[in-house]
């Protein structure tokens, strides 16, 4: 859910004896499993995926599209028990890439006059954002979408994090259902991260829980209904879904793994299935690499938003010091200038057992989406740099 951390979730419903005992260890041959050949235009990206596996990621799957066509890359394994390799068509939890879908729908509603980005939170959700210095009367929809609201991140609450991210809490709470109001209430137990909304950027999953609630209030429909109607069906994203509480993954998919601790060492646990309601509109969707690339191609290419709303989405603010100086955040999407000077737009997605990146050039013509089925290691930045700075340069007019 958050930009850096993973959200805890559900353990597997049917697992091997090793998992029943508690932990899985990767087969010695995991890094040597078959994958797409590391040659051709996308060889640097393939090598970066292989390096992530060498660093301890169980497996990687991804796809790049550019003016020359489509490339699918895989490395490592999708199942630590059987040694089955990752597949190019694997579904996976996309974490905070969900935020880009939610922001797109809200911007569509703004373009239709159903809401205004400068509406206050209190206008749509009267009295909900109150307590310990929070005041929804002075926070706008725009500030939710660009993370300048100052609202505390519910996922940072120590009790909430312990209940999901660490081993004992995970196994106890893996099937819990959370209502959006409960998640907001967790945040309201804390002081804001900024006393003045609109002045300081601070990543908060609570922002997108509130954005989802406003979306539903404005439309009278569930956010899942609106995402399907406005994005999934028009773009024919057949591998993209919006689960509410269902813990299962569609096929094909790999297993997902976490250390269930604050350390990057120790046993790996299978956390594939879990109730995603604790992520909801901040990070609960499922997709695959091909669908994510198609989504960003359409979004940045102007198929989903009128020019005015797309410009609003791409109006950015500086991020906090813990993030790269070359990164800025818009409305549900980040702009990032790479080491070679090229610029990509997209979002990171971290949720328990899954790390996703989905980015594209400004015109959407060169896109890359990929997933690690582990949440404790691996350099996802290196894969992006390899694809856009070493592979396929000069194919899209952006470098």
Alpha-carbon distance of 304 to 88, in angstroms, equals 26
Residue 316 CA: distances (Å) to CA of 130, 324, 335: 27, 14, 8
DSSP string spanning 28-97?
A: TTGGGS--S-S-STTHHHHHHHHHHHHTT-SEEEEEEEETTEEEEEEEEBS-TTT-PBP-TT-BEE-GGG
Query: Which residue bears the tokens 């993030």?
Result: 323
Alpha-carbon distance of 103 to 141, in angstroms, equals 10
Quote the tokens at residue 104: 């797109």
Q: 3-state class of 127 per DSSP?
A: coil
H helix count then E strand count, the chain: 15, 14
Alpha-carbon distance of 82 to 32, in angstroms, equals 14
Positions annotated as catalytic residues are: 96
Q: 3-state class of 21 per DSSP?
A: helix
């Amino acid at each position: 859910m958050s930009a850096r951390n993973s959200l805890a979730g559900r353990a597997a419903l049917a697992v091997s004896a090793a998992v029943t005992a508690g932990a899985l260890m990767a087969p010695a041959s995991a890094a040597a499993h078959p994958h797409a050949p590391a040659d051709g235009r996308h060889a640097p990206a393939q090598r970066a995926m292989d390096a992530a596996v060498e660093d301890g990621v169980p497996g990687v799957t991804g796809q790049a599209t550019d003016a020359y066509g489509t490339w699918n890359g895989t490395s490592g394994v999708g199942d630590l028990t059987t040694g089955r390799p990752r597949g190019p068509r694997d579904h996976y939890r996309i974490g905070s890439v969900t935020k880009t879908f939610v922001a797109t729908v809200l911007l569509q509603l703004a373009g239709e006059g159903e809401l205004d980005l400068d509406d206050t939170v209190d206008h749509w959700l009267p009295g909900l954002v109150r307590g310990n210095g929070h005041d929804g009367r002075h926070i706008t929809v725009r500030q939710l979408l660009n993370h300048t609201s100052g609202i505390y991140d519910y996922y940072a609450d120590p009790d909430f994090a312990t209940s999901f991210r660490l081993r004992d809490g995970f196994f106890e709470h893996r099937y819990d259902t959370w209502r959006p109001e409960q998640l907001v209430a967790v945040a309201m137990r804390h002081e804001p991260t900024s006393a003045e909304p609109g002045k300081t950027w601070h990543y908060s999953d609570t922002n997108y829980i509130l954005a989802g609630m406003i979306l539903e209030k404005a439309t009278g429909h569930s956010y899942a209904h609106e995402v399907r109607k406005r994005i999934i069906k028009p773009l024919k994203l057949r591998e993209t879904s919006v689960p509410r509480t269902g813990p299962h993954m569609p096929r094909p998919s790999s297993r997902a793994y976490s250390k269930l601790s604050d350390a990057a060492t120790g046993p790996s646990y299978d956390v594939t299935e879990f109730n995603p309601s604790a992520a909801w509109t901040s990070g609960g969707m499922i997709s695959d690499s091909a669908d994510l690339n198609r989504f960003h191609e359409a979004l940045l290419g102007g198929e989903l938003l009128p020019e005015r709303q797309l410009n609003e989405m791409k109006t950015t603010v500086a991020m906090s010091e813990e993030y790269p100086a070359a990164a800025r955040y818009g409305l549900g999407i980040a702009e990032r200038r790479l080491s070679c000077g090229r610029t990509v737009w997209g979002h990171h997605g971290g949720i328990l057992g899954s790390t996703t990146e989905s980015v594209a050039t400004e015109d959407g013509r060169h896109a890359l989406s990929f997933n690690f089925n582990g949440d404790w290691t691996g350099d996802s930045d290196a894969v992006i740099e390899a694809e856009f700075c070493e592979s396929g340069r000069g194919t899209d007019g952006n470098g």
